[in-house]
Amino acid sequence: MLIVLTFCVIGFLCLIYSHWERNQLKTEQYLIFSKKIKKKFRFVFLTDLHEKEFGVDNAVLLKKIRSLKPNCILVGGDFPISHSSEETDIRDEVEKGIALLQKLKEEYKVYYSFGNHEEKLFTKKELKGRKTAFRNALEGVTLIDGKGIFMDEGIYLSGFPLDISYYRPLYFKEKKPLEEEIREKWKSAIADSKGKAVQESSDFEAKIKQGIYISEEENRRDSSKKVKEEKNTGVFCIAMLHSPFYREEALSLGVDLLLSGHFHGGAVGIPFIALMTPQFRFFVGKPRGLFKRGEKYFFISRGLGTHTINVRIHNFPELSCFDLCPVKE
């Protein structure tokens, strides 16, 4: 009886601590060095909000972002909550994610890549207008899935989409193999980074600030632009892929920095492994943090919120700030 009571007390204290920790937002800053980067560029990466608020109307989160003074915001998916067991949006939650998006796009250029909860939301029948409301909130946001864009000179961003079938519960099963159709979409998303890169033009700075992608065809038409041939090694390629389970497939395509989330840090911060991921895969290695392999980086955010497994222990919510830095010869 005493043993049972002891475990109950410990469990209760863990739940109290977890509730406290889920509200303690930590800013993590990462430095990325590469010869491909021509000048310093800062961005904030947000993922897995899941309708979480830090302060009223996310005032704490917004204050931290403003203090970092980023050039732009990258969103890696799962801002809403969409319940997979239902065919309609009747219980889905979008309001806090919408409010945060509205504030972010008023102040910054925002690039967005879908996670599994957006995929679920946009495949449902609409009853409560939540799907339409979230779609409207994305107006003015650059949706990057299956596409690519130059965020700055020599810095190329793309989004690697996955349909909902890649997010089914795994337990002890193997992940679904990446279909060739999906791989081709990913290849297409980064294909334009491999051609001619715009180095100098009369309106280049203005266009990148507006988020307008300057294509190779456009450069040929406009004789006022000064364009020189450059191999792909001259372009730093960033990709957003929500699920880290497919990081090897993404890195094989020539990505320099891969940004992911989805794991929520593994719920409990056991060193080097995840206790559990949202797909109910247990003891997954490398569930959070920045990793380097040769000249390539991949990053898995601890995320901002939680869903399904609403526990955080030694696994604080994360606001991720990246500085892309040139390497001086």
Percent of residues, the chain, with pLDDT higher than 70:
84
The per-residue DSSP string of 118-141 comes to HHHHTTSBPSSSHHHHHHHHTTTS
State yes or no: pLDDT of 206 exceeds 70. Answer: no
**171 occurs within a structural domain:** yes
Kindly report, residue by residue over 245-268, the tens digit of the pLDDT: 999 999 999 999 999 999 888 777
**185 occurs within a structural domain:** yes
How much is the mean pLDDT over the chain? 83
* CA dist., res. 243 & res. 257, Å (int): 14
Relative to beta strand 296-300, strand 289-293 is antiparallel
**189 occurs within a structural domain:** yes
Residue 289 belongs to what domain range?
Answer: 28-195+230-326
pTM to 2 decimal places: 0.84
Q: What is the CATH number of the domain that holds 246?
A: 3.60.21
**19 occurs within a structural domain:** no
Kindly report, residue by residue over 207-221, the tens digit of the pLDDT: 333 443 333 344 334
**308 occurs within a structural domain:** yes
**216 occurs within a structural domain:** no
Kindly report, residue by residue over 14-53, the tens digit of the pLDDT: 778 777 888 899 999 999 999 999 999 999 999 999 999 9
* CA dist., res. 252 & res. 218, Å (int): 29
Collapsing DSSP states into helix, strand and coil, what is residue 296?
Answer: strand
Banded model confidence at residue 84, pLDDT cuts 50, 70, 90: confident
What is the number of domains present in the chain? 1
Percent of residues, the chain, with pLDDT higher than 90:
57
